[in-house]
Chain A
Amino acid sequence: MQHDDVIWDLIGNKSFCSYKVKTKTQQFCRNEYNITGLCNRSSCPLANSQYATVREEKGLCYLYMKVIERAAFPARMWEKVKLDRNYAKALEQIDENLIYWPRFIRHKCKQRLTKITQYLIRIRKLTLKRQRKLVPLSRKVERREKRREEKALIAAQLENAIEKELLDRLKQGTYGDIYNFPIHAFDKAMEKQEEETESEEEEEEDEEESGTREFVAEEEFEESDLSDFEDMNNLKGSSDEEEDAEEQSSEEEETEEELEEEKTKAKSKGKTPLKGPVRKKRAYVEIEYEQETEPAQKSKAT
């Protein structure tokens, strides 16, 4: 009992078929023997008792045919014919097997064969080229690695390490004479000299003290701003570094000046209480400010 129209009414048009996949604009057929892949009256392998398809298995194309005489024997329903590897010969084979068959099926079979051979050629070409290997990443591992990297970065303290290395290289002398602070070696030499000849240096210092000039502040002299103070110290510091010979003497000078400054500070503290940052007494002009007060707003009585 093979009434194609009845079958199509039952499954095809707007009815349920388990092979049917519906999308917004089209219906597809998932049946493996379907020749076009669409769900149509002429393409449905269930609703056509005489049907043919071309399918590909492991690189070889086969022609499957179904006729109504074998409809009662599902096990033997599909006749499988191996097609030639040569495309032209395969087309001829289709023609001779499907002679006297409806035009639609013959045409669609040849089209399908064409498509299949094209993609087989493409597969063969691609396998010869380099393949991109996909390596699966484990999310847990990636997260762990990321965290470990962050911690390693913190532990590395890169800037400090680099600076230390550069300073070590400078000390070792890999940079030669480019940088003009060969002060370390000089300092060491100086220290050695000082240790050896202490007494001589003391005499020298006495002489220098008597000759050098010091600028001593007045009694009521108030300190300048803290920033000025720091700058002065810095200036003294840098000049000290340059004048190596008078290192010790200059240090003594510094301490003397510091003592004096401390004294003046103490004096100023004794005389006037400090208000806020210590200000240097300069000539200044007193400016009086007038503030205009707004007249009281008259309330509007309603």
Chain B
Amino acid sequence: VKLVKSDEAPVQEMEQAEGEETEKKSESGPCFPPTFSVSEIKNKQRRHSMFLKLKEEKRKQKLELKKKKKKERKALGDKAPPKEVPKTIENQRIYDETTVNPEDEEVAFDEGTDEFSAYFNRLTNPKVLITTSDRPRGRTVRFCEQLATVIPHAHVYYRRGLALKRVIPQCVSRGFTYLMVINEDRKVPNGLVLCHLPDGPTAHFKVSNVRLRKEMKRRGKDPTEHVPEVILNNFTTRLGHSIGRMFAALFPHDPQFVGRQVATFHNQRDFIFFRFHRYIFKNEKKVGIQELGPRFTLKLRSLQKGTFDSKFGEYEWVHKRHEMDSSRRKFHL
């Protein structure tokens, strides 16, 4: 039983034409002020029922609109306007001015002379040293071992409380090209420092969602010693390009297609997903992939120009939360 009060009204009645309003008035009773909203009703039950009615109305209208559109589309047949593309975050992404144009000469020149040029000109072969922070727990150790199987020419060393600044010159002298340090917190790997050794850039990532091999569903056998292929997806900006090259330089140049293994670094909304698969071509239009190997996600926290030096380093890019996380459509990689 609804009490007739002058300041309570369903909002839908205000949306109808004024002529009808007077009719409605006589039916359900009161006249309602135009600035009424459902939230002003103090009684919870009544407010709730009003809100449900409102929602129902809206849903009906939406359905009607849809039906109408569909009819129009059918009626027009071929002449119908093309279907509207739904808005996604990738569509609405704020254009980053550092996006690399494929034909850009300046970028090409820069990339020809940066720290990775030695690798890309086939002068050096990658050799990776994987280590952890102090006193790693089992999960981190196993993760390191699995990474070492995924990345060819990778060696795992136990960190005996050594300072990175002392480790780096030793690595350089032994011919390593990469130093990978996996930081651990609460028995779980949560950070990755990737340092290109002959004074190359150092990238610090946040690692999340690490899945070891035995936690993978329907996984295949262990990865073999063949050199995998590398897929780098969606690295569009200058920063993305440099990070992409960093990942590419981890792996030797010539992948052995016999091994049919592929390592993927896929960037989506500033999260880099790493996957390791074995593929098989069923026919020329279909390929089957089976996930081996560990999987994890990375998020870039900072990129530093020289080798690891947290105090005096020159940071090329640092993730500043308040500036960079304010917009949901702005990505940097």
Contacts from A to B (Cβ < 8 Å): 129-130, 132, 141, 144-146, 148-149, 151-153, 155-156, 158-159, 161-163, 165-167, 169-171, 175-176, 178-179, 181, 183-184, 241
CB <8 Å contact, B268 and A166: no
- Supposing A162-B277, A166-B279, A170-B281 touch, asked if A155 and B289 sit within 8 A by C-beta, the answer is no
13 additional contacts (CB under 8 A) given A148-B269, A162-B266: A141-B321, A149-B209, A151-B269, A152-B268, A155-B88, A155-B268, A156-B266, A159-B289, A162-B275, A162-B277, A163-B287, A166-B231, A170-B287
- Supposing A129-B161, A148-B271, A184-B284 touch, asked if A155 and B89 sit within 8 A by C-beta, the answer is yes
Instruction: Tell me the bound Cα distance from A175 to B287 in angstroms.
Output: 14
The closest CB in chain B to the CB of A176 belongs to B257
Instruction: Tell me the bound Cα distance from A169 to B257 in angstroms.
Output: 12
Contacts from B to A (Cβ < 8 Å): 88-90, 134, 161, 163, 208-209, 229, 231, 233, 257-258, 262, 264, 266, 268-271, 273, 275, 277, 279, 281, 283-285, 287, 289, 297, 299, 321, 325
Q: What residues on B are CB-neighbors of A151 within 8 Å?
A: 269
B26 to chain A, nearest CB (A): 51
Instruction: Tell me the bound Cα distance from A175 to B283 in angstroms.
Output: 14
Q: What residues on A are CB-neighbors of B161 within 8 Å?
A: 129-130
CB <8 Å contact, B262 and A162: yes
- Supposing A167-B285, A179-B281 touch, asked if A152 and B233 sit within 8 A by C-beta, the answer is no
Instruction: Tell me the bound Cα distance from A146 to B208 in angstroms.
Output: 9
The closest CB in chain B to the CB of A165 belongs to B231
CB <8 Å contact, B262 and A161: no
Instruction: Tell me the bound Cα distance from A171 to B273 in angstroms.
Output: 25
Instruction: Tell me the bound Cα distance from A145 to B268 in angstroms.
Output: 13
- Compute the total of residue contacts between A and B using a CB distance below 8 Å: 84
The closest CB in chain A to the CB of B264 belongs to A162
- Supposing A129-B161, A153-B268, A166-B279 touch, asked if A158 and B89 sit within 8 A by C-beta, the answer is no
- Supposing A163-B287, A163-B289 touch, asked if A158 and B266 sit within 8 A by C-beta, the answer is yes
* CB contact between B275 and one of A144, A149, A158 (< 8 Å): that residue: A158
Q: Which 5 A-B pairs have the closest CB atoms?
A: A156-B268, A152-B269, A181-B284, A152-B268, A152-B271
CB <8 Å contact, B271 and A183: no
CB <8 Å contact, A165 and B271: no
B295 to chain A, nearest CB (A): 9
B252 to chain A, nearest CB (A): 16
CB <8 Å contact, B287 and A167: yes
Instruction: Tell me the bound Cα distance from A96 to B258 in angstroms.
Output: 85
Q: What residues on A are CB-neighbors of B268 within 8 Å?
A: 152-153, 155-156
A177 to chain B, nearest CB (A): 10
* CB contact between B233 and one of A145, A161, A178 (< 8 Å): that residue: A161
The closest CB in chain A to the CB of B331 belongs to A152
CB <8 Å contact, A132 and B284: no
A80 to chain B, nearest CB (A): 38
CB <8 Å contact, A181 and B262: no
Instruction: Tell me the bound Cα distance from A179 to B283 in angstroms.
Output: 9
Instruction: Tell me the bound Cα distance from A155 to B257 in angstroms.
Output: 29
B218 to chain A, nearest CB (A): 12
B257 to chain A, nearest CB (A): 5
CB <8 Å contact, A149 and B208: yes
CB <8 Å contact, A162 and B273: no
CB <8 Å contact, B283 and A181: yes
* CB contact between B257 and one of A130, A149, A152, A178 (< 8 Å): that residue: A178
Instruction: Tell me the bound Cα distance from A152 to B234 in angstroms.
Output: 13
A127 to chain B, nearest CB (A): 13
CB <8 Å contact, A158 and B271: no
The listed residue with most B CB atoms (<10 A of its CB), out of A148, A151, A152, A165, is A152
The listed residue with most A CB atoms (<10 A of its CB), out of B277, B284, B285, is B284
Q: List 29 A-B contacts (CB under 8 A).
A: A132-B134, A141-B325, A145-B299, A148-B269, A149-B208, A149-B271, A149-B297, A151-B269, A152-B269, A153-B268, A155-B89, A155-B90, A155-B269, A156-B268, A159-B289, A162-B279, A163-B279, A163-B289, A165-B233, A165-B264, A166-B262, A166-B279, A166-B287, A166-B289, A169-B229, A170-B284, A175-B257, A181-B283, A241-B283
